[in-house]
């Protein structure tokens, strides 16, 4: 029996955590592996921030989805299983965290496949994907479908789930947006240069609460993307906790793992369809 993807809730909240660790920095150049301070800044995520966040989720009894690069899962072989054992979802986040837009189609495929192999070797069932830096290509959805995954979470074509047809079958898109990403609020490194301003957690909490209220009004998917090396820090973790508590107090918000939202969306007869195809670009108008 089919029903609407939201199950009657005013808004559905998917708490998603990109457990990137060192990969976003190494993707900028392997020479950064020599930078002990920078590497420790990134390792804080899985070593300190992740356990703190898992504790908050346990206490508030809400499910979440953790997007993990294959490199991170490979170098920390107990990490993915420790997340899955607590009832949360582990999802594919490339192998290397190199953005697909920086690769050839063959490189993107090889990186995608290598990540899938890591999780297969660890016995982790994967249902969805998120492109590194959200920089999907027009091939990405095809890869997601080809490898038997249910959903992608990299595009911004709506604020509700939508269906993306591919030659290998349909994929559910769980759209993202910069306003619901803690990277835009907290990320800062001098080298490689990442961000320029570190915002107050109170300001971030206000922003996210306002977005949630708007999405409750319009019945949307509140797809929050946070990073343990950023939002796992104490004051920010407390702001995240207060956001979750606020959503629970609303009484009309449902928390769900991405895989569960995607499963419901696939049976929703009213789910919009948006084709993933590049615009036709006149080289005389738009030079390289």
Residue 212 forms part of a structural domain: yes
pLDDT at residue number 277: 86
Count other C-beta atoms under 10 Å from residue 213's C-beta.
Answer: 14
Q: pLDDT digit string (tens) for 119-129?
A: 999 999 999 99
Residue 280 forms part of a structural domain: no
pLDDT at residue number 260: 98
Residue 262 forms part of a structural domain: yes
The number of folded domains in the chain is 1
- CATH number assigned to the domain comprising residue 202: 3.20.20.370
Distance CA 114, CA 107 (A): 10
Residue 197 forms part of a structural domain: yes
Residue-range definition of the domain harbouring residue 93: 11-266
Pull the structure tokens for residue 175: 């759209």
Residue 277 forms part of a structural domain: no
Across-strand partners of 16?
A: 65, 225
Question: What's the pTM value of the predicted model, to 2 decimals?
Answer: 0.97
Residue 281 forms part of a structural domain: no
Residue 279 forms part of a structural domain: no
pLDDT at residue number 3: 78
**Residues in the chain with pLDDT values less than 70:** 1-2
Residue 4 forms part of a structural domain: no
Distance CA 117, CA 35 (A): 29
């Amino acid at each position: 029996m089919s029903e609407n993807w939201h199950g009657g809730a005013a808004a559905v909240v998917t708490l998603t955590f990109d457990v990137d660790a060192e990969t976003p920095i190494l993707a900028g150049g392997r020479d950064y592996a020599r930078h002990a301070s920078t590497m420790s800044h990134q390792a804080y995520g899985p070593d300190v921030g992740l356990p703190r966040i898992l504790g908050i989720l346990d206490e508030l009894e809400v499910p979440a989805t953790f997007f993990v690069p294959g490199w991170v899962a490979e170098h920390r072989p107990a990490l993915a299983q420790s997340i899955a054992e607590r009832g949360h979802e582990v999802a594919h986040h490339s192998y290397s965290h190199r953005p697909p837009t920086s690769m050839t189609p063959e490189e993107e495929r090889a990186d995608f496949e290598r990540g899938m192999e890591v999780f297969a070797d660890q016995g982790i069932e994967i249902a969805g994907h998120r492109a590194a830096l959200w920089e999907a290509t027009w091939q990405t959805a095809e890869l997601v479908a080809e490898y038997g995954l249910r959903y992608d979470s990299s595009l911004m074509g709506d604020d509700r789930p939508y269906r993306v047809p591919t030659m290998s079958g349909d994929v559910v898109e769980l759209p993202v947006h910069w306003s619901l990403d803690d990277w835009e609020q907290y990320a800062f490194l001098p080298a490689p240069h990442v961000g320029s301003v570190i915002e107050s957690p109170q300001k971030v909490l206000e922003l996210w609460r306002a977005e949630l209220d708007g999405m409750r009004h319009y019945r949307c998917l509140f797809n929050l993307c946070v990073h343990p090396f950023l939002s796992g820090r104490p004051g920010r973790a407390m702001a995240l906790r207060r956001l979750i508590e606020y959503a629970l107090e609303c009484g009309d918000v449902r928390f769900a793992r991405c895989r569960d939202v995607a499963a419901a969306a696939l049976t929703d007869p009213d789910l919009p369809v948006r084709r993933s195809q590049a615009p036709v670009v006149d080289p005389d108008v738009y030079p390289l």
